[in-house]
């Protein structure tokens, strides 16, 4: 079941959105301030964020900017501020859509579905785009800052898998099972070796690796600098 996160300090808005989206089969969580919302996104397993701009603590613009540092998660901005400059700023920061309060819950639900359909269709293109980084699964090519990087098949598969789940941490055992299969006799050091080689190749080409070690847990792909 897809999880939609509503980040809004107006309890009535959160509950109204929850009611309509749950009727459509979504799982809905509500965060009452920007910091809580950002922490929930970092925890993973959220498919789309409905984000108010005027929030206590971190405002919606800051939350959107921080999300875009590590994830391409769909974001729809919800706000009473309808000025063109605010809409443009929100979209420039990476929001996928912009809905002005008061809004029709049915229209909002339709927009959520439309964005998730578009993302699913885009995923079928077999190409991932991140700042300075393009990964093409059909051509088995990786370009960083316009330069093609030569990777082994297993290195490519590892990068593709992690980049397909930005911000999500995978243990060594999970990566072994996903990429080497249940019958593989090796251990987690195999993953460490491939990660190290990937990092070196990416850093040589572009100065950073995108691959982050989460100490005591595993590895994740992070698009932020």
Specify the higher pLDDT residue, 30 or 115.
30
| Same-domain pairing of 8 and 87 | yes
Residue 149 sits in the same domain as residue 85: no
Domain boundary among 75, 103, 123: 123
Residues 6+ apart with CB under 8 A from 171: 217, 218
> Do residues 131 and 200 both lie within one domain?
yes
The CATH code of the domain that includes 69 is 3.40.50.2300
116-161 pLDDT, tens per residue? Answer: 877 665 555 678 887 778 888 878 889 887 788 888 888 998 999 8
pLDDT digits (tens, 9 = 90+) for 151-181: 888 899 899 989 888 888 889 888 888 887 7
The number of domains in the chain is 2
How far is the C-alpha of 133 from the C-alpha of 146, rounded, in Å? 8
Distance CA 57, CA 36 (A): 9
Look at residue 52 and tell me whether its pLDDT is greater than 70: yes
- With beta carbons less than 8 A apart as the criterion, state whether 131 and 110 touch: no
């Amino acid at each position: 079941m897809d999880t939609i996160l509503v980040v809004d300090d107006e309890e009535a808005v959160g509950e109204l959105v929850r009611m309509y989206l749950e009727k459509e089969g979504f799982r809905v969580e509500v965060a009452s301030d920007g910091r809580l919302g950002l922490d929930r996104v970092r925890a993973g397993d959220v498919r789309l964020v409905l984000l108010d701009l005027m929030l206590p603590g971190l405002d919606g613009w800051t939350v959107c900017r921080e999300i875009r540092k590590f994830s391409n998660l769909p974001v729809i901005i919800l706000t009473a501020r309808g000025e063109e400059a605010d809409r443009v700023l929100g979209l420039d920061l990476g929001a996928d859509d912009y809905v002005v309060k008061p809004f029709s819950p049915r229209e909002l639900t339709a927009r959520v579905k439309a964005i998730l359909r578009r993302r699913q269709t885009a995923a079928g293109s077999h190409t991932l785009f991140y700042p300075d980084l393009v990964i093409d699964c059909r051509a088995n090519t990786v370009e960083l800052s316009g330069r093609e990087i030569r990777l082994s098949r297993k290195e490519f598969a590892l990068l593709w898998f992690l980049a397909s789940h930005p911000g999500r941490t995978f243990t060594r055992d999970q990566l072994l099972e996903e990429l080497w299969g249940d019958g593989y006799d090796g251990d987690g050091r195999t993953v460490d070796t491939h990660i190290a080689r990937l990092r070196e190749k990416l850093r040589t080409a572009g100065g950073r690796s995108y691959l982050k070690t989460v100490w005591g847990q595993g590895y994740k792909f992070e698009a932020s600098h």
